Structure 1
Amino acid sequence: MSVPLLDPQKLIAELRSRAQALGFDAFGIARADARPDLPDKLAHALAEGWHADMDWMAETETRRADPRRLWDEARSVILLGVNYGPDTDPMTLLSQPDIGIISAYARNRDYHDIIKGRLKEVAGLLAQRAGADVKVFVDTAPLMEKPLAEAAGLGWQGKHSVLVSRDFGSWLFLGAILTSLDLPADKPGTQSCGSCTRCLDICPTNAFPAPFRLDARKCLAYYSVEHKGAIPRQFRRPMGNRVYGCDDCLAVCPWNKFASISREAKLRSRPEFERPALAELVQLDDAGFRALFSGSPVKRIGQARFLRNVLICIGNSGDAGHVPAVLDRLDDASPLVRGAAIWALRRLDPERADGLRQAHLAREGDETVRAEWDGTV
């Protein structure tokens, strides 16, 4: 049965209304071919190595650079955003070294799960009303949501590379609906950072080689979330008490002052993730880790990588009261955890570390852990 053609503006109004009812705070439409500049920009970033060891970015380069290569029937892209702005300034926790900071985006249920169901409802409505083919994406496919969101008028990519919204600052989760339907596009966002460089200046590791460019090889968010090995020694002290992610460049954005407009629709943090104590986090066994972070994006990195982060933060705390817990982790089953525990012990009690070195080296078979015993802080 054929589907009668609808007035495009009425269709968009209905989709926008449904999206708002589902909790989306931002809605915009771009043509699938709206960003012909993306292939060259992506190729340059990959050639410079800014993706670090996230090889999947290079492996999907062709599809990632153009939505039509991902799906050749795509004609329009609907971009939707959910405000996840935290109720308090994440930067205030940096002065509390016994607290582990979890990035604001990870303090609720996994945003992939939250947004995908809502996107499917909007996409289903579009398919029902217009008979169009649709595909839904939430950061799980090679689609460059941020530049497309800029093309759809949701905001602009700031100098920290994150989308900035006039209404919600740097705190928007993004989802996309690709459709075979040609829809009227919204006016693209206009770059409005001006001369402000707060996001670049605040970065503790100088991860921005230039405005609008992020080098993951120097990014704490990358090392604490994506990186599978030991945290490189030069980035350990800058981690401070960040156990998962880094919000500094987002948190200082002046446009964040408008992020409280949609209080009823915005996502709320789980209280236990707002000020978790390092002393409690370091005690988590695998079952405890899975239970605490059930449904959270933190769970995806696994207990060993999470404890690696926690132990680095404990080493930065300056609190010798953590030493007994650190000693317990020197014999952890994971070399990743053992190595981080050695570094933490050297920071908190170097004499104890020197005294234990020979005994542990005698039974340590992992070369990376042996190197930690021989390393310096």
Structure 2
Amino acid sequence: MSKATNPAVQALLEEIAKAKIKAEERRKREDEIRNTAYGVIKQAGGSVILRLPPEPVEPQADECCNSGCTPCILDTYWDRLKAHKEDVKALEAQYERVLNGEEFDLREHHIRNALPGGLLDPLKFTRIKVMHVDRIESYALVFVLEATARDFVLSLGEHIHIRALVKRNSGEQRMATRPFTPVMIEAADGVVRPHMFIRLYEGNEMSEYFQTITAGQAILVRGPVATQENITRAFSGRLCILVAGGSGIAPIFQLLQFAHVNSAYSRKRLVVVHCAHNQSGLWLTKYIAEMAKELERLSYFAFLSHEPLLQTVDCEIPGANVRHERLTAAALQQALEPFDFNGSKEAHAIICGPGLFNNDVGGWLQNLGVNDVQML
């Protein structure tokens, strides 16, 4: 029996066709919502109408990945629903005042609830194309996403969740969701786009998934997702210590970008400690070097655990201190000695890296007298 007349294959093809139709219908609905004005609206003839924004769509039961995400997609939905109800109440009150003849600026809509817009949605996973993939030797990848600073907006401390169908060692498949922090930097085409540094680990399900992704394919992304940490607290002391392990440099880079554009923090004493395999892992140094021209009190230390001693490391950051060794308690103490911070109230630290790395470095910093240590 041919595939065309096989009932099972025919049924599968019909299901795929139905799914495509539903996806297209949902896209059209979202486009309609995105391009519609909501609020108290003055029409061409002078009449005033009230057009209320639609309620956020409740996630399906299987959309929660049960990975302990903070916030969970369900928490985000209830927050959005509460905001929507407040929006509706404010809009109805505004509309009533307009009908009673009160003067009112009709451009003011009082809408807090975020309507669909851009490529990110905190309530659902959307497909975003990968423009380019760079391999950093055998241990990391850098993904450039087909997005811009206009349609892919992340604030300080925000990251995204990526969802993928991964294969377990047993051969079974399951959906996995993991957090990642893209950085917004200039791509090869001259446009600022999200870049993701993906550290690869042997036997890791998500690592194996990322190695299958090539340019032109799409990944499932949800966000922005905010951290519970008050990250700007790191700038409250005389000394701000930022320690990154591997791909943890992305949130640290976010902090540097934030300090760079905020005059209140741009003159803080900043010490960046960046731990990587080798020079290839220092992929953001040229951007940090540009910021360092205005962050005059920035000091940068790199610890390269797998870089041969005879290999010359090219680092563009002025005054950078590059060491061919792993970060240890003694090495960290030596790096921080010139910045005598005289007790815990003078220094604040943020660490971002693998769990064991965070715990070790956190302990070392506390032994040095830094009591305010945040781990991302």
TM-score, normalization by structure 1: 0.29
Larger Rg: 2
